[in-house]
Amino acid sequence: MSKNIKFQYDGALYDINVNRNGNVLNIEHQGQTYVVSLAAPAGGVAAPTPAAAAPAPAAPSAPAAPAAPAAPAAPAAPAAPAASAPAAAAGGATEKAAITGTIKEIKVAQGASVKSGDLLIVMEAMKMDIEVFATHTGSVTAIHVTQGANVTEGQPLMDIG
């Protein structure tokens, strides 16, 4: 079910459409669609966090995501991870970049044990921090990026098996 949300932020009026399918949100703003995944904290319930605000195409529309937490279907983490064939076959996943940006900090090392919802990587996009959370429990089997690296949307960041 799609929901239209209109809000004012920093003097500008924004109009977005949000469609929720499970823990995935499709946010449409100015003709562009952004896919974000809600991360479940240790308690198991998805909770919105204003720090997850980056899927905007230009500086004027960047404030669109921070005001979304006031809505019932608010993005918690803009990472939209998808499983690659090898990782999925092993019962794991490949965490991918949900947006083009720069790797600011890698929070875990190869071989580390992680739980679903753990913070893996902090990216920077459009001067905002984007947190990438684990979607599976397991061990980090590969890290495909380094700190300071530029990444594109959909690029593999880390494998969890």
Q: In the predicted model, is pLDDT for residue 69 greater than 90?
A: no
Query: How does residue 79 score in pLDDT terms, banded at 50, 70 and 90?
Result: very low
Query: Which of the four pLDDT bands, split at 50, 70 and 90, describes residue 48?
Result: very low
pLDDT of residue 119: 93
Least confident residue range of 27-31, 70-74, 90-94, 119-123: 70-74
The better pLDDT of the pair 85, 121 is held by: 121
Q: b/e per residue, 113-124, with b = 16+ CB within 10 A?
A: ebebbbebbbbe
- The pLDDT value given to residue 113: 94
* Extents of the domains making up the chain: 2-70, 85-160
Query: What percent of the chain shows pLDDT beyond 70?
Result: 67
Residues 148 and 70: their CA atoms lie apart, in Å, by 33
Q: Mean pLDDT over all residues of the chain?
A: 75
pLDDT of 27: 84
Length of the chain: 161
Question: Residue 86 pLDDT more than 70?
Answer: no
Q: What is the pLDDT of residue 44?
A: 52
CA dihedral sign, ordered 89, 55, 149, 135: negative
pTM: 0.46
Any long-range contacts for 1-4 (C-beta under 8 Å, 24+ apart)? 3/71, 3/72, 3/73
Burial class (CB in 10 A: 0-12, 13-18, 19+), 50: middle
Sign of CA dihedral 12, 76, 50, 145: negative
Q: Which fold has domain 85-160?
A: OB fold (Dihydrolipoamide Acetyltransferase, E2P) (2.40.50)
Nearest to 125 by CA among 106, 147, 105, 102: 102
Tell me: pLDDT of 3 over 70.
yes
SS (H, E, C) 27-89: EEECCEEEEEECCCCCCCCCCCCCCCCCCCCCHHHCCHHHHHHHCCCCCCECCCCECCHHHHH
pLDDT of 33 > 50? The answer is yes
- How far, in Å, CA of 111 to CA of 161, rounded? 10
The whole-angstrom distance between residue 89's C-alpha and the CA centroid of its chain comes to 23
Query: Which residue did the predictor score with more confidence, 2 or 51?
Result: 2
